Amino acid sequence: MNDLFLGVNRSFRTLPDLLESVMRALTERAGLIGASVVLREGGALDVRREGRAIVSEWSIRPRGGGAAAGTGPRTRSVDDAVHAAEWFGVERPAVPKFAARSAPPKTGRVLPLAYADTPIGELRLIGRNAADAKGPPQPWLAGFARQLAFLIMRYEVEVWATRRLGAPMRLVGMGRVLQDLESQLERAARTDLPVLLTGEFGTEKPQLAAMIHYGGARRDQPFVEVNCAEPAGTPVEWFEKAAGGTVFLSGVDELPPALQRRLPQAMRSSLGQWLADADAPDVRVIAASTADLRERVRDGRFSQALLAELDFLSIAAPPLRDRPEDMEALVAAAFERRGFSAADKRSDALLAACRAYAWPENLFELERVVARLAVMTDGRPIERDDIMRHTPWIAAAAPARARPAKSAGLQEPPARPFDYAPAGGLDRWVHCALNKDAAELARLHDALRKALLYLGEHFAEPISLDQLARQAHVSPSHLSFLFRSALDIQFKTLLGRIRIHKAKEILAAQTRRQITDVAMSVGFTDLSHFEKSFRRVVGQTPREFRRSTAGVDTGR
């Protein structure tokens, strides 16, 4: 299921665009004859096989199906059909004909689409035989229906937020980190318990608050955001305005001490710490903080009683550095918000730089960088030279594009400071890790630098990707991506090469040391595996290597 969603992990401006791509992918990969989705808010999509082509047809377009920024539904074109055909490997694409059809087929398997126990539609699947409709659905299919409901809810929230709050709020991306986050949001939406949203500066805390409010039973009631750094009015006024709905305390860590003391006068205590006025409005509280509130409590800068009331459900907004799978979709969405065509502006160089950069200010910084590059490059794609000129700091961790071979009479330009020249290959990074090469390390992403230093010092110990990621202060998936994109290797490959390199040093310097002992000293617990790995890398067995360097055969 994850692979299916990752395969279409890009920005979709409208719900119809999203559903067509996802349902086509499902029909293709699950070998279905057809599939339909019917939405609570209006809209019914049929996807079916016609020969070798897969076609889709809306019998009813979703209400509010256009982009939340105010554009209307996008008209499908021949280019859309060709793109879909290329994506799924269809040899002869067919342009769908959008004629009105009867109700979706009633045969096959029907799965409910629900969010926080509230129905939002149905998913109907037609397999190749009757057995496909019998028995409980496979676990991956139930997971698909759940994730599809999450995606539909995003667009409902966007339409609601545009109409009620004057600003579109939609989560973007389909990576594993975001899928896990949405599961937490749905659980929180089922209850009325207070929620504390945490996360770095620039993460999507307002969007998460909107998802929790709209996904729950209070969706039709007020949603009142309070800027705690400069709040307008009093806590009593906030809660009266939000009666029956939700108060969102944005930046609660910046709430002045006087208001921290006054807030309990307006909110009902979930712990019985104080008695509320019987006429006090029923309001759910969602708070967001970029600071560690427990640390602030210890320093005397935040009310312990207030934190105890807020910290029932805690959800962390992930930083961008933990979401490399979503970067293409996030960049495209940022282009679109500024009125640029993502297809015209993005490039492999831009995506590589964005995936490798740590984004200390997260979405806020991404928005600024994309806007600057889009404006300064006119209508052409953004290439590495543009990044180096206008936003050089994000190029520090990005792999350089391979240079063409030198032509006669032309001199190769000098390397830029941030280039990853491939010269030296894997041995270059072995040397860098073992010798702590300052010049090489300075060019690396901070997480890679920490990982290489750790490998160079602890190569003889059992090391897992999770353990290495903790040392580098990033997620395992992000660290794995950095190894592949910046160094073009996997961490296990580099670790094995470091161990072989150290074994060579020991074999050459300590000619009487047993080979079994050498293997164990560099981290190999299996002698046979050590000898095979050594021969594959060096081209000789450990004994042959020792003989060639020392001129003796000492045995084991």
- pLDDT per residue as tens digits for the range 68-82: 333 333 333 333 333
For the segment 519-544, what is each residue's pLDDT rounded down to a tens digit?
Answer: 988 999 888 888 988 888 888 898 88
Q: How confident is the model at residue 221 (pLDDT cuts 50, 70, 90)?
A: very high
Residue 6 sits in the same domain as residue 137: yes
In a shared domain, residues 312 and 332: no
Q: In this structure, are 272 and 369 located in the same domain?
A: no
Residue 383, by phi and psi: left (phi above 0), alpha (psi -120 to 50) or beta? Answer: beta
Task: Pick 227 or 441 by higher pLDDT.
Answer: 227
Q: 34, 17, 137: which is closest to 83 by C-alpha?
A: 17
Residue 441, pLDDT score: 81
Tell which residue, 306, 224, 298, 301, has the closest CA to residue 273. 306
Side chain identity, residue 105? P
Last residue of a domain, one of 364, 395, 426: 395
Same domain, 126 and 11: yes
- Inter-residue contact 318 to 178 (CB < 8 Å): yes
pLDDT, mean of residues 452-463: 90
CATH number of 138's domain: 3.30.450
Domain identity same for 373 and 389: yes
Q: Could you tell me if residue 457 is inside a domain?
A: no
Say which residue the tokens 């074999």 belong to: 507
Residue 326 tokens read as: 């979503």
The contacts of residue 47 (CB under 8 Å, 6+ apart) are 20, 23, 24, 26, 27, 34, 35, 36, 54, 55, 56, 57
Q: Is the pLDDT of residue 118 over 90?
A: yes
> Are 8 and 146 found together in one domain?
yes
Which pLDDT does position 540 carry in this prediction?
87
Predicted confidence at residue 423, as pLDDT, reads 37
Give the C-alpha separation, 510 to 498, whole Å: 18
Q: Residue 507 in contact with residue 549, Cβ under 8 Å?
A: yes
320 pLDDT more than 50: yes
Measured CA to CA, the distance from residue 458 to residue 460 in angstroms comes to 6
Q: Do the Cβ atoms of 363 and 178 come closer than 8 Å?
A: no
Taking the model in full, what pTM does it have?
0.65
What is the structure's pLDDT at 13?
82
Is 60 exceeded by the pLDDT of residue 276?
yes
Query: Of the ranges 76-90, 160-174, 466-480, which one carries the lowest mean pLDDT score?
Result: 76-90
**158 lies in the same domain as 9:** yes
pLDDT at 383 over 50: yes
Q: What's the number of domains the chain is made of? A: 4
If one counts every other C-beta atom within 10 angstroms of the C-beta of residue 74, the result is: 14
Q: Give the least confident one: 30-44, 399-413, 477-491.
A: 399-413
C-alpha–C-alpha distance, residues 449 and 487, integer Å: 11
Show the tokens assigned to 497.
């090469």
Tell me phi and psi for residue 468, to 5 degrees.
Answer: -65, -40
- Confidence bin at 378 (pLDDT 50/70/90): confident
- pLDDT for the residue 66: 41
**How much is the average pLDDT of 279-299?**
92
User: How far does CA 267 lie from the centroid of its chain?
Assistant: 35
How confident is the model at residue 109, as a pLDDT?
86
Q: How far apart are CA 540 and CA 72, in angstroms?
A: 68
Under 8 Å between Cβ of 43 and 62:
yes
Residues 192 and 242 both lie in one domain: yes
Q: What is the CATH number of the domain that holds 373?
A: 1.10.8.60
In whole angstroms, what is the distance from residue 178 CA to residue 211 CA? 13
Whole-number Cα distances in Å, 121 to 100, 134, 144, 153: 20, 21, 14, 11
Domain that holds residue 13: 2-164
More confident residue, 100 or 330: 330
Residues 6+ apart with CB under 8 A from 54: 24, 27, 28, 47, 48, 84, 88, 90
Domain for residue 76, yes or no?
yes
- The mean per-residue pLDDT over the stretch 228-256 comes to 94
Q: At what angle do helices 78-88 and 15-29 cross, to 10 degrees?
A: 30
Can you read off the two tokens belonging to residue 477? 């998936």
Does the pLDDT at position 556 exceed 60? no
pLDDT reported for residue 240: 94
Which pLDDT score, from 0 to 100, does residue 63 have? Answer: 57
118-126 vs 195-198, strand pairing mode: unpaired
Binned at pLDDT 50, 70 and 90, residue 42 comes out as confident
* Per-residue pLDDT at 266: 85
Helix (H, G, I), strand (E, B) or coil at 80: helix
CA neighbours closer than 13 Å in the CB half-sphere of residue 284: 27
The verdict on residue 411 lying in a domain is no
Q: Is residue 527 included in any domain, yes or no? A: yes
Greatest distance between any 2 Cα atoms in the chain: 94
In 403-525, the DSSP E strands lie at none
**How confident is the model at residue 486, as a pLDDT?**
78
Asked whether 59 and 101 are in contact (CB, 8 A), the reply is yes
Please provide residue 126's backbone torsions phi and psi, each rounded to the nearest 5 degrees.
-115, 115
pLDDT (tens digit per residue) in 12-21: 888 888 999 9
Q: Is residue 430 part of a domain?
A: no
Radius of gyration of the chain (CA): 28
**67 domain residue, yes or no:** yes
Report the alpha-carbon distance of residue 515 to residue 364 in Å, rounded.
Answer: 55
Tell me the mean pLDDT in the region 278-283: 83
End-to-end CA distance of the chain: 51
Average the pLDDT over each of 21-35, 54-68, 209-223, 406-420 and give the range with the smallest value. 406-420
**pLDDT confidence of residue 197:** 97
Rounded mean pLDDT, 410-439: 58
Least confident interval from 119-133, 273-287, 382-396 = 119-133
- pLDDT of 553 reads 44
Distance CA 222, CA 510 (A): 76
In the prediction, which pLDDT does 377 show?
Answer: 92
Q: Which helix (H) or strand (E) holds 224?
A: strand 223-227
Residue range 224-237: average pLDDT?
93
Non-local (6+) Cβ contacts of 306 within 8 A are 260, 263, 264
When pLDDT is cut at 50, 70 and 90, the band that residue 228 belongs to is: very high
d(Cα 331, Cα 357) in Å, to the nearest integer? 13
**Pair 256, 365 in one domain:** no
Say yes or no: 311 and 331 in one domain: no
Q: DSSP code of 487?
A: I
CATH of the domain at 291: 3.40.50.300
Residue 122 lies in a domain: yes
Residues 299 and 200 in one domain: yes
- Mean pLDDT, rounded, for 480-504: 86
Q: Ranked by mean pLDDT, which of 179-188, 342-351, 480-489, 517-526 comes out on top?
A: 179-188
Residue 133's pLDDT is: 52
Say yes or no: 355 and 208 in one domain. Answer: no
What integer pLDDT is reported at residue 104 of this predicted model?
A: 44
Q: How confident is the model over 299-310, as pLDDT tens digits?
A: 899 999 999 999
Contacts of 130 (CB under 8 A, 6+ apart): none
Residue 27 lies in a domain: yes
Dist. CA 270–CA 312, nearest whole Å: 9
Sign, CA torsion 145/149/155/158 = negative
pLDDT of 98: 31
Query: What is the distance between the alpha carbons of residues 511 and 65, in angstroms, rounded to a whole number?
Result: 74
Are residues 473 and 447 in contact, defined by beta-carbon separation less than 8 angstroms? Answer: yes
Backbone φ and ψ for 187, nearest 5 degrees, come out as: -60, -40
Per-residue pLDDT at 288 exceeds 60: yes
CA distance 436 to 419: 19
Per-chain mean pLDDT for the chain: 81
Q: Calculate mean pLDDT across residues 466-491.
A: 82
Confidence of residue 101 (pLDDT cuts 50, 70, 90): very low
Helix locations, 67-119, DSSP H: 78-88
- Residue 85, pLDDT above cutoff 70: no
Q: Which residues of 116-129 are buried (b: 16+ CB within 10 A; e: fewer)?
A: beeebbbbbbbbee
